[in-house]
Amino acid sequence: MKFLSDYIKGILIGAGAIIPGISSGVLCVIFGIYETLLNSILNFFKDWKKNLKFLTPFILGGLTGIILFSNIILFFFERYPEITSFTFIGLILGCIPSIFKICNSKEKFKLNYLFYFIISFIIAILLILLENHVSNNIGIYYGDNFSFEFLLLAGFLMSAGIVIPGVSSTIILMLLGVYETYLYAVSIVNFRILLPMGIGLIIGGFLCMKLIQFLLNKYHSQTYYSILGFVIGSIFILIPKIGFNLTGILSILFCIIGFFISTRFTEK
C-alpha cells in the first residue's frame, strides 16, 4: 500500500512539471516528502539500496504523470476547471499544518521568520501575475528547430521550477518560448527535444538541490517559512470564479475531499 501511495504521489508530482501554475516542489512539500526526497537523491550512493527502494515509486509515478496522466489532468482542468482547481486548493490547504509544524521542528518561532514568509508570498504572487501575462501572449507552436545548446539551457533553467517549491517550471519554459514544443515532444516522445532538455534538467536539478540542501542545513526554519509563503501564494493562481450552482457545490465538496486526502498523506 505504501508503494501504491508513493506511486500516486509521483504521478501528481510528474504532472506538476507540465501543468501551468502547479509546482512539483510544492507538491513534494504537500505530500511531506520534500526534504527526504532531496537527501535521498543527493546521498544516493551512501546507502543506494535503501535510497533506490524509496525513490523507485516516485520515479515510476513521475514518469507516468509526465507521459500519460498529465494529459488526463489537463483534460479535467480544461473541461472542469472549477472542480479541478478547488480539489488542488484543498490538497494545498490540507498540507499547511504539516508544513507549519516542520517550520518549528528544530527551533522555536521567531518574529523575524515572518519576513521570509511575506517576501516569498509576494514573490509567488508576482510569479502568478507574470505567468498569466506570458500565457495570454504566447502562440501555439510545435516546431523543433531549437538548437541543442538552447534546449540544454531550457532544461537547466526548468530544473529550478521543479526543485524550488513555488516556482512553476511552465513559466520558465513559456518565457523561453519552448513550452508548447516541450508538451508536444512529451506527447510523441521526441528525443530530439527531450534528450538535451533532460541533460540540462539533471545538471540543473543537482545544483538546485545542493543549494536547497545547504539552506535547509544552515537556515532550516527560514527556508521552510519561505516555502510556506510560496505554498500559500500558489493557491491564488488556482482560485476560479464559482457561483451557487451544482458546479459550485461540487467544487467546495471536492475541495473538502482534497483537504482530507492531503492531511492523510502528510500526517506523520
Q: What is the mean pLDDT of the chain?
A: 80
Counting Cα atoms < 13 Å in the Cβ hemisphere of 104 gives 11
| Residue 268 pLDDT level (bands cut at 50, 70, 90) | very low
Q: Which three cell numbers stand for residue 135?
A: 500565457
pLDDT of amino acid 66: 81
pLDDT of amino acid 241: 73
Cell 504521489 sits on residue: 9
pLDDT of amino acid 202: 92
pLDDT digits (tens, 9 = 90+) for 66-96: 877 666 766 777 788 888 888 878 877 877 7
145 or 228, which is more confident: 228
pLDDT of amino acid 106: 77
Prediction pTM value = 0.66
Distances (CA, A) of 251 to 234, 245, 265: 18, 10, 21
Domain span at 9:
2-266
Task: Round to whole Å and give the CA distance between 128 and 12.
Answer: 20
| Residue 166 pLDDT level (bands cut at 50, 70, 90) | low
| Total count of residues recorded for the chain | 268
Residue 81, C-beta contacts closer than 8 angstroms, at least 6 positions apart:
240
pLDDT of amino acid 60: 92
Number of structural domains the chain divides into: 1
As a whole number, mean pLDDT of residues 161-184 equals: 75
Task: Round to whole Å and give the CA distance between 233 and 120.
Answer: 8
CB-CB contact of 261 with 9 (8 Å): no
As a whole number, mean pLDDT of residues 108-127 equals: 86
CB-CB contact of 126 with 265 (8 Å): no
CB-CB contact of 257 with 146 (8 Å): no
Residue 138 has pLDDT above 70, yes or no: no
pLDDT of amino acid 266: 54
pLDDT of amino acid 52: 92
pLDDT of amino acid 134: 56
